[in-house]
Homo-oligomer: A and B are copies of this chain.
Amino acid sequence: MIMEPDNLFDSIPGNLDEERTDRLVQSEKVKIERIISKGHTSPASGWYDQEQDEWVVVLKGEAIISFENGREMNLTAGSYINIPAHTKHKVKWTHPKTETVWLAIHY
């Protein structure tokens, strides 16, 4: 019997007035999320300061992440980074004209 798997590029809502997050896995040890941005960024002030490590990859689209120490990273399809807990960072920019699809693993 052939079963149809789910696909990360399906079910992308037409209306992306707000950033969209879908939780794919939630266990005691790990949380896996798909995030879809379209021009969304972090709030203008402040930093994400997370209790857990996060490994994140951009699967489609384009984004810039900035860090408190002044580093910036341009992320395109396939780009991945590991963000250790309490490494302050923000999403500075995502492409305004096309969806950016992220996969985030919090662990």
Residues of chain A touching chain B, judged by Cβ–Cβ distance below 8 Å, are: 1-10, 24-25, 27, 29-30, 32, 53, 55, 57, 59, 70-82, 103, 105, 107
Contact = CB atoms under 8 A, between A and B. Distances in A.
Question: Oligomeric state, in number of copies?
Answer: 2
Contact of A82 (B25, B57, B71, B78): B25
Contact of A7 (B7, B24, B78): B78
13 contacts: A1-B71, A3-B71, A3-B73, A4-B74, A7-B78, A7-B79, A7-B80, A24-B80, A27-B107, A29-B107, A32-B105, A57-B103, A59-B78
A8 B57 contact: yes
Given A24-B55, A30-B105, 8 more contacts: A1-B71, A2-B71, A2-B72, A5-B74, A7-B80, A24-B80, A29-B30, A29-B107
